[in-house]
Amino acid sequence: MIVKRASYKTQKLNGQVQLRGKKIAVENWSVEIPAHDETDTFRLKVPWAVGGDGVLASNDKVNTFLIAEKDVPCKIHLNNRELISGLVDEPNWSFGLSEDSIEISGSGRIGRMVERELIRNVKNRTASSVAGEIFKHHKINAIIKGTSVKIGAYSADSQSSDTEMNDWQLLHWLAEWEGYVVRVVGNTGYFGPPEELPELKKKPIKLTYGHNCEIQSLGKRKSGIRDLIIEGRSYHNRRTVVEYYPRKPKKENETGIIKRYYLTGLSPEQLRKRIKAIYGQFTKYDLVGRLIIPEYLEVLPDRKIELGGLGKDLSGIYYTTKVIYTEDVESITTEIEISNKLLEVSP
């Protein structure tokens, strides 16, 4: 049992917040940077008064741009890092006896991808070319690992001429077939194998309970996947190879979750080993939690955390699944959501 509690110092860092390209003063701000398929978001509390001038002016001479304009850009930088670049979704004015303020919430580039939905003919294109087009449209500097298989070759469902999805859904659908993952952090994107994620190549960050972090929660969670089938396809020796693990799906009334991957160039034996490994990663039990570090810690989703001070079974390597930075006039806090699993499947 750990009886010594951590003794912390706070530090003041100034996140740089811009609206419409103009730096503004804020009372507090927070940014959520997720892995997996969630949307990146931000929140601000901004001091405000009727009248005034500048970017937040509200008087008889100029329009209140948070109302008058449809797309208001917002950027937040911290320690020369762009944490988020997005658009304002909701401004809410608060009027009090001592001060008035505006609470502003919005989403980053992932939110813009979710909003953009098109009917596209992609069956004769590769996943990497479609991913490159989407990232370019959203002005995201992306690392894209090339693919060679035409999308129409994935399955019978992929051979239709038109596909109607939003950009974020389409990226994840393509990634699933290729055995890839999608990540967007700030203005940087990734479309490629999970084992080549840039953050995974970095050394684990060492955190010790009771020394340099607190633990808000940590627990074992059932996967929620009672019946999972991995379908793998590979083009090998001029023919398409299809393998399943742990069983083939039923021809009718299949209730299991089927995850499909197109893994180019693998022999039948290699394909069986690969999908078995994928199945094992998905179905092992989850250890999930949230850590609190009462200072700025430079960390991004997918970074390994070497958590110590918890005994044999709870200490070990975890993966960062979400980072939340929060700053007010007194201090900054880094919250990290962690999991012992890199990959995630929704039931």
Q: Round to whole Å and give the CA distance between 11 and 32.
A: 20
Which residues of the chain have a pLDDT value below 70? Answer: 1-13, 52-53, 155-161, 222-226, 284-285, 344-347
Among 37, 2, 34, 82, smallest CA distance to 319 is for: 34
Give the pLDDT confidence score for residue 226 in this predicted structure: 67
Q: Which alpha helices (H) appear in the chain, and where do they start and end?
A: 65-68, 109-115, 127-137, 167-178, 268-283
- Over the stretch 158-201, which tens digit does the pLDDT of each residue have? 655 577 889 999 999 899 888 889 999 888 999 998 889 999 99
Give the pLDDT confidence score for residue 110 in this predicted structure: 92
Whole-structure pTM value: 0.81
Give the pLDDT confidence score for residue 346 in this predicted structure: 46
- Over the stretch 214-234, which tens digit does the pLDDT of each residue have? 999 998 876 556 688 888 888
Q: Round to whole Å and give the CA distance between 26 and 316.
A: 38
Cis peptide upstream of residue 246 (ω within 30 degrees of 0)? yes
Q: Give the list of residues 6+ apart from residue 225 with CB closer than 8 angstroms, or none.
A: 257, 282, 283, 345, 347
Cβ 114 vs Cβ 132: under 8 Å: no
